[in-house]
């Protein structure tokens, strides 16, 4: 009997979820915002929910190659932010975060 393993093609309705990697300098940037850690965790969790399955659909900056997303504040006490990131097949790397005026 012949036994073979055939890799499955990616399912576009249920893509693989990537892991979020925060660079060390990101903690310094986030702590400088004066926003509670819990709110920042909620912001990163929202980012993860939106981006980790399909990071390729977000605009990419031609000069840096970084993709970006503007996170609308939800719930309302979480700050509005622009998050810059890169990604590969397994991970999403948060490169920079900036808070925005509403």
In CATH, what number is assigned to the domain containing residue 80?
3.30.2310
Domain hosting 78: range is 19-99
- Write down the pLDDT at residue 1: 34
What number is the average pLDDT over the span 75-95?
84
Cβ burial of 92 (10 Å; 0-12, 13-18, 19+) is: buried
**pTM over the 0.75 mark:** no
The predicted-structure confidence for 27-62, as pLDDT tens digits, reads as follows 777 777 777 778 778 888 888 888 888 898 998 888
Is residue 12 one of the residues assigned to a domain? no
The predicted-structure confidence for 1-12, as pLDDT tens digits, reads as follows 333 444 455 555
Domain count, the chain: 1
SS3 91: strand
With residue 25 as reference, give the H or E element that holds it: helix 24-31
Is residue 38 one of the residues assigned to a domain? yes
- Write down the pLDDT at residue 36: 77
Integer Cα distance of 71 and 102 in angstroms:
11
Is residue 13 one of the residues assigned to a domain? no
**Higher-scoring residue by pLDDT: 32, 65:** 65
């Amino acid at each position: 009997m012949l036994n073979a393993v055939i890799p499955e093609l990616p399912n576009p309705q249920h893509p693989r979820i990537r892991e979020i990697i925060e660079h060390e300098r990101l903690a310094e940037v986030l702590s400088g915002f004066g926003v509670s850690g819990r709110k920042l965790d909620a912001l990163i969790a929202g980012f993860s929910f939106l981006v980790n399955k399909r990071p390729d659909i977000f605009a990419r900056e031609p000069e840096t190659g970084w993709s970006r997303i503007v996170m609308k504040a939800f719930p309302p006490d979480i700050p509005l932010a622009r998050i810059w990131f890169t990604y590969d097949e397994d991970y999403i790397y948060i490169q920079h975060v900036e808070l925005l005026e509403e």
